């Protein structure tokens, strides 16, 4: 399962028989439609979007990409900043899923510890989520670039 194409501008409109108060611009009384933002589809249908290669332009620099205290991975705070030449595990934001190409990247796991341990052997214990200098960062998807030779 992966993300599908979603809606134009990230807005979806749904009919609701349950009329209640909504914020301005959310509910249209004439059509009975409610606008939801940032909606996308999950699908198992193969799409061309799924195979679009993410163009990577940055090179790995240890000063720019800190390592997690409790994961054997580096922090990449923006999907557009994924280094083109790093062969290890990287923690990327969930927005990466919109750019995920299984031919280019392998999803190793996620940065949240669970009772079964961490996929890919990255979990080293400690706090329940990835930390940098003792401070938890927002949950990350752990990936590896398949195109970089080890």
Cα distances (Å, whole numbers) of residue 11 to 19, 40, 49, 54: 20, 9, 19, 24
Whether residues 60 and 131 share a domain: the answer is yes
Whether residues 95 and 119 share a domain: the answer is yes
What's the alpha-carbon Rg for the chain, to the nearest Å? 19
Domain count, the chain: 2
Quick: pLDDT tens for 16-25.
887 777 778 8
pTM of the model: 0.74
Quick: pLDDT tens for 56-111.
999 999 999 999 988 889 999 999 999 999 999 999 998 898 899 999 999 988 87
- Tell me which residue range forms the domain holding 23: 2-43
> What pairing do the DSSP bridges indicate for beta strands 42-43 and 2-3?
antiparallel
């Amino acid at each position: 399962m992966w993300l599908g194409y979603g809606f134009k501008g990230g807005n979806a409109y749904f009919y609701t028989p349950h009329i209640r108060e909504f914020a301005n611009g959310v509910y249209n009384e004439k059509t009975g439609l409610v606008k939801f933002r940032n909606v996308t589809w999950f699908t198992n249908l193969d799409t061309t979007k799924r195979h679009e290669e993410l163009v990577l332009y940055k090179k790995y620099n240890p000063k720019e990409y800190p390592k997690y205290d409790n994961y054997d991975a580096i922090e990449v705070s923006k999907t557009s900043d994924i280094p083109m030449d790093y062969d290890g595990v990287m923690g990327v934001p969930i927005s990466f899923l919109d750019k995920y190409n299984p031919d280019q990247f392998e999803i190793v796991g996620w940065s949240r510890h669970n009772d079964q341990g961490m996929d890919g052997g990255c979990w080293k214990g400690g706090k329940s989520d990835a930390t940098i200098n003792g401070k938890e960062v927002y949950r990350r998807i752990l990936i590896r670039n398949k195109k970089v030779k080890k």
